[in-house]
Each structure stands twice: as C-alpha cells, then as structure tokens.
Structure 1
Amino acid sequence: MLKKILTISLISVFFLTTGFGCKGLSQAQVSSIKPVKLTYWTVYNDVDMLRSLASEYSTRYPHVAIEIRQVNYDEFDNLFTNALADDVGPDVVSQHVRWLRKNEIRLLPAPVATKMGRLVIVNNFSKDQQLITDTNSLPSATYIKNSYVKTVYDDVVVGDKIYGLPLAMDTLSIFYNQDLLDRAGIAEAPKDWNSFVEDVKKMTKFSSAGDIVQSGTALGTANNINAATDILAMFMTQSGIKITMGNTVTFASSLGNAQDRNVPILNALDFYTDFAQPTKEAYSWNEKKPEALDEFIRGKVGFYFGYSYDY
C-alpha cells in the first residue's frame, strides 16, 4: 500500500533549469510528462479556492489533472482509513493538525524539491515544442522554524522531516445564538466565566422528565464535542497551568502534592465537567446529546465553542 503525502503547495516558486528538444526524448523525459491524476481531499469550505489553484496548476502542466473533493469533517477519519485500506486513498489531504500524528504512519514526508516537465512551443510557425523541466523547491524544516509561529514547527516537523504545511491559523471562539439570548433576557454576551455560567443556566431548558431540550452551552463531554481537547486546554491555560515545558508534558505535575481538589488542574477539570453533571447548577449537556455543532445549527444550543471553519 502506498503511503500518501499530507499536503503540498499548489503555488510554488518555479526555476527554469534545463531545456530539451521534443524529438528524441529519453524515457525519463517522456515519463515526466506522462498523464497524472491527483485526488485532493479537504475537510474545509475551501473547494472553490482549491479548484482555482488546481486549474492554474493544470494550465501550466496540462498532463496533471487534480480532482478536489470536500469530505465531511466528522466522516473524514473513517473514509480516509477505509480508502487507504482499499488503496484508493487521496494523494493530498487538508486536515486538522490534531490528526497529523495519528495519520503519520500513513503519510510520506515532503521532498526537498520536485521536478515537473512541461512542453512549450518554441516556434509559432513550425509549432516545434521543447521540454522544460521546472524544479519546485519546498520549504525546509529550518525555514518553517524561522518563518512560522512555534506551534507549526512542533506540529508538522518530525525527525527533521516535514509532514504538512499550514493552510491557516485558527483561534478557538465562542459563537452564540442571539435569539436564545434575547428570549432568556440576556442583554449582551458575557464577558467573564461567572456571567457565562449564569447565562447558561438561563438558557437551559428541561422537559417534565428532566431531559435537556435546550442547552445553554455544549460543554463537559468528549464524545459529542469536536473541540473538547482544545476547550479543556484553554480552561487549563487560563487557570495558569503550563501544559508543556519544552518536550515534557507538565499539566498534571501538581497532582502529586495535592491534599484536596483545590488545585488549578482539578479546578479546570471540574469547571468543564460541571456542565455535564446533573447535580450541578451549570448542567446543560450530556453524552446522549447529538453532535454539538449540529445542535447549535438547529438552534438548540446558546453558546458553541468552535473554529471559523464551523461557520
């Protein structure tokens, strides 16, 4: 089974290196313009942009066809695994960086450079063609370390090999349903966590049987919240906890000396899980609920934690 490359840049710096007459091409030269079809999967709403870039690339290299396919975020992992098992997986994927290490064994690192052949007309009268070979240089690990924020290097460089290139940086945000806030008499979005909890309580509604029919927020679980890990890390960070120091995971270091639950990491965990505890005032969510984003779209969640690609 062939391993696949995580991502490539469709916009590269091209350097003219050599030229050959079209007649009497060597086998290697003929192979460089052999028709190729690449499949590109993306979980983001960037299909139009990618198709535009793919079209530009194919204009320069007519022997390369690039098919762009948008894959549902929630279905990507299963579809990707099955496609690779059947040897019909994509050649290029745009995926969330948190999936990179999980899929690392399925991927090939980026090469230092690639060479692409293309035929160009050198005589408009005779239509004689010449084979040009372009060398496309890809970013090095050193370049990534010096040109991007630190997390990019830490995430995509493994053993000095590059397994991906960043398409964008995103920030965890709180989206809110203005209609639900208005109905609950909430004049403006909360500016601190105490106000947030109070507003969640106002928007959460229960049936006569005690089931949640409207959630003030979707927090407290992991199975039905896409960004659960990031949200919990955010609460830990805001509590003053250092998740890592260098290459060492340190967020649980204070637990060894804890005599009670009044330590930052446990306070952060308690704050997060209280929203899924029926005995807590903040209770507004549980593991039986559908996916958080789906419920937010249906107008059943007041505050939703997510990223811009959810919009």
Structure 2
Amino acid sequence: MTAAHTAPGGTWLITPPSEGRLDSALRAQPDVALLDLEDFVPPHDKDTARTAALAHLAAAPVHGATMLGLRVNAPGTVHGLQDLVALAGAGLREIVVLLPKVESARELELVAQALRAATTGVRVCALIETPRALLRLDDIFASPVLGGVVFGAADYAAATGCRRTSSSLWWARSSIAAAAAAHAIPSIIDSPYFNLGDPEGLRRDAQEARDLGFTGKGAIHPDQLPIIRGAFCPTKEEVVQARAVVSAANRAGGQMVRAGGQMVGPPLVAAARAVLDRAGIHTEPSLHGGIQ
C-alpha cells in the first residue's frame, strides 16, 4: 500500500448527489465528502443522478483538506458498470471511489485497472457488507490497490438476519479491524449510525468503533460530525496517561517500567505513542527522558 493509494480516516460524510448537497457537505469539513449513487438513489433515477454527481464533483469549489468521493453502484450490476465508464471519462483527480458489495480482491483490481488510465490519484475502497466478504477478508485486504475499508452494517445485518446492535455486530466489526491491521490498511471506517435523533447512541457507537480499532466513522448528516470527531479524539485523561507512559519509557531506556500504577513494556509504549499521534502531539524516543 502506497500513500498515493490511501484514503483518509476520520469522518466520511455520505450524501445524495442532489443539488446543493455537496456544497453543504464541504462546509461541514469532513475528511471525505462522498456522493452516493447506490442507496440514496432509486433505480429509475440512476442515470440522472450519475450525470449530476459527476458534474458536482467536477465543479466542486476549493475544499481544503476534504477529499471528494463517489460511492458507485455494485460493479456487477448494469448501473455499476455505467458508473465506472462515466467516471473513467469524467477526468476527475484525487478522488475516493467506494465499491459496494466487494467480495474479492479481483473486483478491486479490475476497477482500479479500468480507472487508472483516465483518473489520477484514485483511492479504490472496499465496502464490506456481506457474510461472504467477512469470510474472505484476508484475500480482499491483501489487494495492493486497496486504499481503505468501510463497514456496511445495514446490508450486513439484512443479509445475516441479525439486529444492528453492539453485541450482534461485534464479531464483524472486530474481524474487519483486525484483518485491516494485519494488512497495514490505515483507513478503516465504521458504518454510519442511522438514528439522527439519538446523539448519545451515536457517541457510544463511535467510541466502540474507536476501541475496536477503526480509524473513523461514516456520517449521514453534518450534525453527526462533531460527535464522531470527539469520539475519535483522545480525551485529556488519555493524553496525560500516554505522556506519562512515554516519558517513563524514555527514562528507562526501553526497559519494563512502572508508570501510573501499571507495568509498561513495548506494546503499551506503542499504544501510548499512537494516542499522542491521534492528538497531534509529536513524540520521539529519547534516552534522556521526556517527550521530544
């Protein structure tokens, strides 16, 4: 995986391709503003929505750190094939392409090959949302063209007959996070939380995703973004503890050491450094103690 192929983590705002929605999404400053041609668009509107989405993406204003994205229809469908042909001819640059219903690495590689000649900086990402995909994570995540992973809880729950609860989705989410870590995929995005009237539920869901190892979470409304950002940002207490662990490890020269009432070895030091990285605090190992 190269940096050129990697999609951002953090917040992914998913929105219909209707007039004004992309501008509204960009004002909210997510890490990825993703126009959706699949679930948000009924079959009879697919052609119109495709044309509109590509026009909106091509005409998007300067959008700072936000990356533009497009969720196409499944490549195995007529609409999905038409999406990819139109995208290849649109001349877009630096875009996330999210493929639904991915169940093999070959699907990703065919799409990347089709887009590579006409699209510069494309990040091909896999939407994992079927039981078959969960059983093939090692194959899918080994693909050299894979730029990121998104979990689709709604379709997964519908396919398995499970409820969209913390306990029923725990295995799927933890399996995705572990497999992505094994293949060094840096962008692992959890499914959106669909109840817009339950901010506390969103907070709990986002915190659980963070605890399982996801690097970000999808959103379906701009109002959800601050809660998601807060859940993935380390708390003051976590930063204080991480500083203590790193400082103690530096003073001990890499040996096991006691910090904050616990014995600290290399795995806990690595975890502490990761917390400080998420908080934007740069650290370097030091033989003289302290955080450099």
Q: TM-score, normalization: structure 1?
A: 0.23
Q: Which has the higher contact order (CA 8 A, sep 6+)?
A: 1
Structure number with higher helix proportion:
2
Structure with bigger gyration radius: 1
Q: TM-score, with normalisation over the residues of structure 2?
A: 0.24
